[in-house]
Amino acid sequence: MAESIAHFAVKSIGLSRVNGRKPCTLLEAARHNLREIQAEQGATGHIDPTRTHCNSILHGPVSAAEVQAQAGALLDAVGIHADKLRRDHCQAIEAVFSLPQDAAIPDSAAYFAQCLAWLAGASALPVLSAVVHRDESAMHLHVLLLPLKDGAHVGSAPIDRAALKSLREDFFAKVAGPAGLQRSGAKVRGVVKQWAVAAVLQRCEALGLPTANGPLWPVMVGAITRDPTPAMLALSIDANTIRPSDKPPQNEPAPNPIGIASTPIGFQKEGAKHRTRACQKLCV
């Protein structure tokens, strides 16, 4: 039986395009998490609208506009006005905690509540919103934090490389490990390693790194090929997004990405979109 992996990812929310980031505002992130966009435009392929009512808000307002207003009020209270900050400033920090479908967690709600409590304490940043999604292939928790600490706007500093490494270690030691979950940063092997190498090289190509590094590029490719995990972390490549296809080659079983036995976030087995049998279990 495959080991259950504790997935923990963090990213900054803002209009910056540095390192190939996709611009996103706090309002847009909150609207997605609270399913306001889906209510207006319809659910995308990886969201099952028949299970959206199973989602739950662990913290924060019920509307994205209120989440944004709360962020503005907290900044105003310490004399920081969002319109005075850089246009591409970090508007929020978003953390995602995900569980594979076969994780032996008897109470997922309690687990996600523990993740939220840990993150609030470990980051020491105001929590704006926390929403559990149960309408996708893997249950996961979205947490939006305001980058405000000791009366100052700290931007993405709380998740720089050193800080993120410390957060990951602390999360595993205090939450994921005691829950019986394995590290999400475990070295990849087999076909999953091939997917990871391809994803990293594709991102590097998009960033123009082959040309920028000149004669050093073959050396970097060698290191990436031996172990793509550090590069995935450095480039913020989510392990749930590297699988190229849900359909395995003929007569070959589909492998499980990085030890996750179930379909990861963003991927869905053929014909599973409108299944409702899991909803009753997930709503518990």
**pLDDT for 58-88, tens place per residue?**
999 999 999 999 999 999 999 998 888 999 9
Q: Give the span between the Cα atoms of 11 and 31, in whole angstroms.
A: 17
Q: How far apart are CA 43 and CA 194, in angstroms?
A: 31
Q: Which helix (H) or strand (E) holds 206?
A: helix 190-207
Distance CA(112)–CA(1), nearest Å, equals 24
Mean pLDDT (the chain, rounded): 82
In this structure, the answer to whether residues 83 and 160 fall within a common structural domain is yes
Lowest-pLDDT range of 18-27, 142-151, 194-203: 18-27
Residues in the chain: 284
Task: Identify the bridge partners of residue 182 per DSSP, sorted by sequence position.
Answer: 5
Exposure b/e, 173-198, CB count within 10 A at least 16 = b: eebbeebebbbbbeebeebbbbbbbe
Looking from the CA of 100 toward its CB, the CA atoms found within 13 Å total: 26
Domain boundary among the residues 141, 165, 183 is at 183
How much is the pLDDT for 184? 57
Q: Which domain holds residue 64?
A: 5-183
Q: Are both 36 and 157 inside the same structural domain?
A: yes
Residue 24 pLDDT greater than 70, yes or no: yes
Is residue 144 pLDDT above 80, yes or no?
A: yes
Q: Give residue 81's identity as a one-letter amino acid code.
A: H
Q: Are residues 105 and 195 in the same domain?
A: no
Residues 269 and 209 in one domain: yes
